[in-house]
Amino acid sequence: MRIDALQYANWSEKIFRQMREGGVDAVHVTIAYHETFRETVLNLEAWNRRFEQYGDLIIRGRWASDIDAARNSGRTAIFFGFQNPSPIEDDIGLVEILHTLGARFMQLSYNNQSLLATGCYEPEDPGITRMGREVIAEMNRVGLVVDMSHSADRSTIEAADISTRPITITHANPHDWAPARRNKRADVIRAVTQNGGMMGFSLYPHHLRDKSACTLASFCEMVARCVETYGIGHFGIGSDLCQDQPDSVVEWMRVGRWTKRIDYGEGSADAPGFPPQPDWFRDNRDFGRIEEGLRTVGMSADEVAAIMGGNWYRFFAKNFSPEAR
């Protein structure tokens, strides 16, 4: 089983076919960065058309059982998530509405301070806000998973402690391996994993040691160290693959509507846009290379299977449904 916990590609038949060639059974896709509720609904409409047009390649994912259905029919299950809480605007009631519409993950902040939590680019981190505490409780109730991938350290630790259900960092790497602002320090990873949460290892070059020149061996050795330190059951892949996107999209990701200036984020002002992927992970057809690399660094067949999809499958099965009353 192969599950990727984060992609934001320029979706096309080519990419869906590459998912099938790579044996990718499920993908969590971003359907909102800075969109309002209504704009998010328009993105859902666009996905409805894709499910119609490419129904032989992809199916809508709502529950872990949809991954089984995808595997049995030779398709990929697509799960929806937000990289920002903007789709709920300032209305906690929209949490349940969006879960009903198919959302399964929501980040509490995206780089900046939100109404709920602090982003990793803010100079100060006061932690989870009053509204954030209420929204976490509502997300727990309905089965919308808390994602802290772009959030600051204190906010992430507090979210892990406040949430009554496990939270996620769907796409990041350890800060001590690659010191990007988006990567997570040991106390953050420990807080998430000790509370039963999951972290997806990112293949986005700005999150990798040596960026686009990162080697497969270096990446897989990092995975093995995390497994040894925090336990095998808390990790998977969250590639953050942004395949075929134009540079205008990375500007939307980083800027949205909050500034008139271009914010280069983790990239260099001399090289705006998307960095090239490492040569061992260009697209969905390369997941097998990660499996080979993990075996090469000494991980067992069961451990490799857990990282490549088994852990995410169990997490989906436990955390997408509403809480039992």
For residues 276-304, average pLDDT: 98
Query: Among residues 144, 141, 114, which one has the least CA distance to residue 128?
Result: 114
Q: Is residue 324 part of a domain?
A: no
> Are the C-beta atoms of residues 1 and 71 closer than 8 Å to each other?
yes
In sign, the C-alpha dihedral spanning 2, 63, 15, 219 is negative
56-86: per-residue pLDDT in tens?
Answer: 999 999 999 999 999 999 999 999 999 999 9
Asked if residue 325 belongs to a domain, the reply is no
CA distance 55 to 50: 8
**58-60 and 76-82: which strand pairing?**
parallel
Q: Give bridge partners of residue 296 from the DSSP assignment.
A: none
CATH number at residue 224: 3.20.20.140
Q: What is the pLDDT of residue 270?
A: 43
pTM of the model: 0.95
For residue 72, the SS3 value is: helix
Whether 72 is in a domain gets the answer: yes
Upper half-sphere CA count for residue 130 (Cβ side, 13 Å): 0
The per-residue pLDDT for 269 is 42
Domain that holds residue 74: 3-319
Residue 262 placed within a domain: yes
Token representation of residue 202: 């990112």
Q: Residue 320: how many CA atoms within 13 Å on its side-chain side?
A: 23
For residue range 95-143, list pLDDT tens digits in order.
Answer: 999 999 999 999 999 999 999 999 999 999 999 999 999 999 999 999 9
> Is the pLDDT reported for residue 262 higher than 70?
yes
User: What pLDDT, on the 0 to 100 scale, is given for residue 260?
Assistant: 86
Instruction: Report how many domains make up the chain.
Output: 1
Beta bridge partners of 79: 28
